[in-house]
Copies of this chain bind each other. A is one copy, B any other.
């Protein structure tokens, strides 16, 4: 299979390297990046066609699939162009910050009838994927409740926050998707509270930095989500599913498995630093899932609709915070 990549920034580099190291039958034949740095990286990795023109990738007849890893505001445009060229599409999330644009783009994809995977990488984290598989196997019986904790080690720059779509759309969106993924059904009601406990500058930029969300699902189960833009002890990504026959918890992977016992007790290492470390494996596995689905002509394991649904929950959560009442979906 020949593929192209649009955008060789932080995440594009990860995908390109993973293609070379892990996917023997996948050849990255063309790469587009606006600036020189990314272009040079691709050249050194042996990519034949490297350009600043997206057309060299999107219109390349040798290419069956495109990974869209450019800046968020160009996702929808590239997805549409790729769809019109008949390429299979792997798109970083979010597809766009505007729900209306997402809906329009998804319609074009549908009309072009091309496969589209939205990169909800956390679904492919070995821990979370294992939880889902065990829940589906019936190990814990009927789900009664789900608890997700997601705390960043520290807040992003204010410049990022201003373009992020807001914390619920930028950060909690992963947890909305994870909750739907684990529950296997749709949200019917959202109650959310949000505020600023980290930084007045974030408040001044019009965003929250803390949120607590209670979701009700079609199956009657409840999901609680705790989000914060800062945690003094590092990146915290946990999940717990409670069911009629048992409970499964995901703990944070640590930097080492070492434990020091001294006169004040026992000390273990910090959590892995941030998403680049914590989710390194998930980036490889989501790409594998994309290639596997393409090869086997199967439904994509995370779709454009999944992205849309998560955005709708985020919108309802914002409304809930502003009106201080539960919102039906």
Whether B134 and A260, one on each chain, are in contact in the complex, defined by CB atoms closer than 8 angstroms, is yes
On chain B, the residues within 8 Å of A252 by CB distance are 257
Whether A126 and B216, one on each chain, are in contact in the complex, defined by CB atoms closer than 8 angstroms, is no
Whether A267 and B266, one on each chain, are in contact in the complex, defined by CB atoms closer than 8 angstroms, is yes
- Which positions 284-310 of chain A face chain B at CB distance < 8 Å? none
Whether A197 and B144, one on each chain, are in contact in the complex, defined by CB atoms closer than 8 angstroms, is yes
Contact partner, A260, options B139, B236, B258, B259, Cβ 8 Å:
B139
Whether B248 and A126, one on each chain, are in contact in the complex, defined by CB atoms closer than 8 angstroms, is no
Q: How large is the interface on A (under 10, 10 to 19, 20 to 34, 35 or more residues)?
A: 35 or more
Given contacts A21-B17, A212-B214, A212-B224, contact A231 B247 (CB under 8 A): yes
Taking the complex as formed, is A136 at the interface, i.e. its CB lies under 8 A from any CB of chain B? Answer: no
For this complex, 12 residue pairs linking A to B, each with C-beta atoms less than 8 Å apart, are A130-B258, A140-B260, A145-B226, A191-B214, A193-B222, A197-B244, A212-B222, A246-B260, A247-B261, A248-B259, A254-B265, A268-B268
Contact partner, A261, options B145, B246, B263, Cβ 8 Å:
B246
On chain B, the residues within 8 Å of A261 by CB distance are 233-234, 246-249
Given contacts A127-B257, A131-B258, A226-B224, contact A246 B232 (CB under 8 A): yes
**Which chain B residue shows the least CB distance to A211?**
B222
Given contacts A224-B212, A224-B226, A228-B144, contact A257 B250 (CB under 8 A): yes
Whether B270 and A245, one on each chain, are in contact in the complex, defined by CB atoms closer than 8 angstroms, is no
* Distance from A319 Cβ to chain B, minimum over Cβ atoms (Å): 14
On chain B, the residues within 8 Å of A144 by CB distance are 197, 210, 228
